[in-house]
A and B are shown apart, each in its own frame.
Chain A
């Protein structure tokens, strides 16, 4: 199959591109930097540019849309341009080119309103209630993708939750870096139960979705390891796997939420390249439960996570000791 992968310079995108190439597919990638995926046809550019997108979609039989602006902070316009505008551009171009399949990668945060999520399925995206610009714009983007679903343009939305593993800069490296410098806090009891997703499983779920989308489409699925863990325990284990010692810094939840709000505001005033150390959204994420019902995901994708959390931690430890 000829498959176009957008956002293939990131860990997940490049891993998906490599996995598809290894499985014998013909892969085109679209992103702002070279994908680094050997054997892929790289189209360099932005998903916000219609002509670049059209070029990347030439001859494609499926598209995996990973390109997004992922950040805790930033100018709302930037988020809208990529996560809403980019998705609309891609969907329109794909429909115009007669591409029959779209796997749209979204985020569980599109349906997260700050309350605990305890064993629920993928709720509907809610741009009005989503927390922060990223979640809000991803929610709107997901609407665009799902609204385009039809028998001729089959759309499946995957929402991977808290992906981690070797090479992951978003969560894994930050946890390890902060733990190494003694700045990794545990909020409250650290017992809030969260689902996560080991990177290899994420890649395989996306590959499985390309097969599944012909039979089942037009819906969103949260993808996790199906092994919820207390957030404090998991962060500690990731830190230890990365060679750091067990985080001992404990912060009560209420001050953390307040501090998150303050830090966000202060951060907004200054000029920063980095993410703020704590946001209210992050404090909420780290102190409330969010784990999911995976039965529908398994049924639709015909996929099961191959690497368990414990095996993933072993792999991570080997990665960092090498």
Chain B
């Protein structure tokens, strides 16, 4: 079949598309003049009286067209007209693609045929178009007029290829899912392999729209949007470019474009300007290994992963918002620039000097491994591990030698500072040894909770992309089954069959026999120390980055606030704090329990741990204490006496109700009982003790009281508006009291950022009050007139009634106090700003049957809510089941209950899925 030539045309009316963006551009390419359809916002900007102050050059891939960039176009125009930097967007359709010119072809495309427009040609085409268009705006050549490239799919490589050859004019580069390199040892991705298989190619790509259809399913697109993407490819005659593009994928060294792709890959590594990589990990073609390869070439690149996204990530996620926020962080608009200068003058210079946010008189925190090093000759007990049978006790001297040997062994094996090491080891001596060995050489520990389940752990580990995995057998088996990245190290030596099966190279035991190296590299304080994953109760688990300075600051908090010092004996039943013993010089004892099942901790186990470590402190979770209290009758005389020696009981992970505090006091009669509040991003933020809980209960406030900010933590409030969003401006002191808001915290020991989530990090740390670094917690509630913090839920669970926003936690506490109710969730249904307030009650543990609550109960609760809060409770429903989070089994999934309630209250089935 012949494919006739056709000049560029303009698209028809399409959703989200402004025809004023469309223009036809004639440009001189090396093989002559060609016509291009280009998305260019210049006319629209000038119509609004705006002259470009920066230019974004965008290039689509295959088989999309510049329609891919419509939301970026819209967002740049909106930003420009609301006072931000005026970015012009230039996004050409490639030749043979979109609405650009169709070149004449005599035959269907094949990899070796001359009918294919090659990578090198396409970069020249792009150059021809953008050079022509940049010349139109007078300021484009100015020093303060940044020019930034962005690309997707093969447009990513092409735009990067152009950027690295024009570093004199390009200020930054952005790419969505793409690939610049096809490793010789890895097969090309299966879907492409099928398409490329010889005679299949023209059929799949040109003669039918199979390739187009498959690609458009790699995102959640409406039928109208799919139609718009298909618009320029209605007939086989118009689809030659789709096949041509596929035919030009350099699958092996013999391919005509292979050398060019190699050259681009090499050139990219020399690109020193800022870069941003935006990734959808569910892409079946542009796999994780291409991201890894790009990050190695562009180590300066910021990364943002949309964990749930596939290839067409900019269709499902706010990529335009991310790009604009990143650009404004790199190139502040003229009006922002003064503010930014002011900010940087007061900003804490680096994570290495975190004293700005800590108490003024506290000494600078020590390095995480300093005490361990100082005690290298100390024969006293450092750590006791009851998880091993028999219990294993090691001295400081032993711990120093083991960690130093493992550290030396890791270096010999090839572990580099900054390498990530996924830890699949339960708390105890082995984890302590592996962790401190890594800390010594600057390797970064990656810790994801087994509570995430295999899928969640796989997603977390893949996003952290560790070079190494240290694991016990169950962890290593999981890693193999789900094909996790990283070279494998077992804890104990494995037999040959197991080693081969799990691709394990060595073991901690073997590494611990390595002769010491003379000098281990000392990691700088601002280097990453650990990536801790959140529980993932609100979307995919996020990796939280902690530097060495952050960990040191956290250890210092335990000393300053809870008097955990060198020589203190502590029972470590709560994982995050269990790891800090060696950093503080405290003797930590791991009790006999399953960490993922805190309910397995018995009173006897805790007492034995106290005796073994001569402990004076106990750290555990409320679920663990509940079981300890329940099994206290089993304690013998000695064990009881040991418990009586405890001075401090710390309960972390969830709030502790007054009656549990009382039960704990029965077991530990001489201890002060504290329940700090925190989160993965800031483990210790506020604290309340037993007297405080009793005192708070007297006030009649609604919600869960978590006490006052601890020494070194600054607390601010971002008030919540009628749409349920938290304000940009922070309130502190009296102004922040008695109003609903999101808690925003600042402290030396909070997170440094989220891992590979540039935008999430930027948004969570967007405040700059008093020149501090803040963290938006996403937790909401009130601060009372005595400065106590009352939690009322998560920001996304705020109910936006016409009377104003309502925090669910406060009303739940009120409803739960009714004798007929065991637990409840307060949710909003309907559109934001006019939501109906609904109480959902758990049927379990009550005599209620699912559906509408009985009239008298509904009336009683409605009257109570109206009396206390003034809100109108539209309905009271009884749910057949109550979904809660995996890790704590305590956080009620209000979002799922809200969806169920909305369905039931619209006439849907009561027994429907929750």
Contacts and interface: CB of A to CB of B under 8 A. Distances in A.
Interface of A: 116, 118-120, 188-193, 226-230, 232-233, 236-237, 240, 246, 253, 287-289, 291, 293-295, 298, 308, 310
Contacts of A236: 855
A35 to B, nearest CB: 35
B834 A246 contact: no
A227 B866 CA distance: 12
15 contacts: A116-B906, A118-B830, A118-B831, A191-B852, A191-B910, A192-B907, A193-B836, A193-B875, A226-B872, A227-B874, A230-B874, A288-B907, A289-B906, A291-B836, A293-B831
Contact of B831 (A120, A240, A287, A288): A120
Contacts of B802: 226, 293-295, 298
Contact of B836 (A116, A119, A189, A240): A119
Contact of A190 (B836, B852, B863): B852
B851 interface: yes
A192 B905 contact: yes
Nearest to B836: A228
B25 interface: no
Nearest to A186: B852
Interface in B869-896: 872, 874-875, 877
A118 B906 contact: yes
A90 to B, nearest CB: 33
Contacts of B825: none
B902 A189 contact: no
Contacts of B748: none
B874 A229 contact: yes
Given A118-B830, A193-B836, A253-B907, A237 B855 contact: yes
Contact of B830 (A229, A287, A291): A291
Contacts of B836: 119, 193, 228, 291
A152 to B, nearest CB: 34
Contacts of B866: 310
Given A191-B904, A253-B907, 6 more contacts: A119-B831, A191-B905, A193-B829, A230-B875, A293-B831, A308-B872
B875 A189 contact: no
Contacts of B420: none
B835 interface: yes
Contact of A288 (B830, B877, B906, B909): B906
Contacts, number: 86
Which 8 pairs from chain A and chain B are nearest by CB?
A: A119-B830, A289-B906, A193-B905, A293-B834, A192-B907, A116-B906, A119-B831, A287-B907
Contacts of A246: 855
Contacts of B851: 189-191
A310 B852 contact: no
Contacts of A308: 872
B834 A189 contact: no
Given A189-B852, A191-B875, A118 B902 contact: yes
B855 A233 contact: yes
B877 to A, nearest CB: 7
B762 interface: no
A256 to B, nearest CB: 11
Nearest to A231: B907
A198 to B, nearest CB: 14
Contacts of A226: 802, 872
B905 A230 contact: yes
B411 to A, nearest CB: 62
B802 to A, nearest CB: 6
Interface residues of B, number: 27
Nearest to A313: B859
B862 interface: yes
A249 B164 CA distance: 76
Nearest to A187: B907
A193 B904 CA distance: 9
B858 interface: yes
Nearest to B853: A233
B771 interface: no
A299 to B, nearest CB: 11
B833 interface: yes
Given A119-B834, A293-B834, A295-B833, A232 B907 contact: no
Nearest to A296: B834
Contacts of A188: 907
A120 B836 CA distance: 12
A232 B831 CA distance: 23
A246 to B, nearest CB: 7
Q: Tell me which of B830, B858, B863 has the highest count of chain A C-beta atoms within 10 A of its own C-beta.
A: B830
A119 B828 CA distance: 11
A190 B851 CA distance: 9
Q: Tell me which of A190, A192, A289 has the highest count of chain B C-beta atoms within 10 A of its own C-beta.
A: A289
Contacts of A228: 836, 874-875
Contacts of B875: 191, 193, 228-230, 233
B651 to A, nearest CB: 39
Contacts of A291: 830, 836
Contact of B858 (A233, A253, A289): A233
A287 B833 CA distance: 25
A295 B803 CA distance: 10
A307 to B, nearest CB: 13
B907 A118 contact: no
Nearest to B832: A119
Contacts of B874: 193, 227-230
Interface in B837-874: 851-852, 855, 858-859, 862-863, 866, 872, 874
A228 B906 CA distance: 12
A295 B829 CA distance: 16
Contacts of A289: 905-907
A191 B858 CA distance: 12
B831 A189 contact: no
A191 B851 CA distance: 7
Interface string B250-288: 000000000000000000000000000000000000000
Contacts of A229: 874-875
A285 to B, nearest CB: 11
A189 B830 CA distance: 19
Contact of A232 (B829, B852, B863): B852
A230 B830 contact: no
B872 to A, nearest CB: 5
Contacts of A288: 906-907
B902 to A, nearest CB: 7
Q: Tell me which of B859, B875, B906, B907 has the highest count of chain A C-beta atoms within 10 A of its own C-beta.
A: B907
A253 B855 CA distance: 21
Contacts of B862: 310
Interface in B794-842: 802, 829-831, 833-836
A189 B910 contact: yes
Q: Tell me which of B862, B872, B906 has the highest count of chain A C-beta atoms within 10 A of its own C-beta.
A: B906
Contacts of A293: 802, 831, 833-834
Contacts of B872: 226-227, 308
Contacts of B910: 189, 191
Contacts of B877: 191
A119 B799 CA distance: 13
A28 B835 CA distance: 41
B721 to A, nearest CB: 14
Q: Tell me which of A118, A232, A236, A288 has the highest count of chain B C-beta atoms within 10 A of its own C-beta.
A: A118
B855 A116 contact: no
Contacts of A240: 855
Nearest to A192: B907
A308 B867 CA distance: 13
Nearest to A309: B872
Contacts of B909: 189
A126 B909 CA distance: 29
Nearest to A232: B852
Nearest to A289: B906
A302 B859 CA distance: 30
A192 B852 contact: no
A298 B834 CA distance: 12
A116 B907 contact: yes
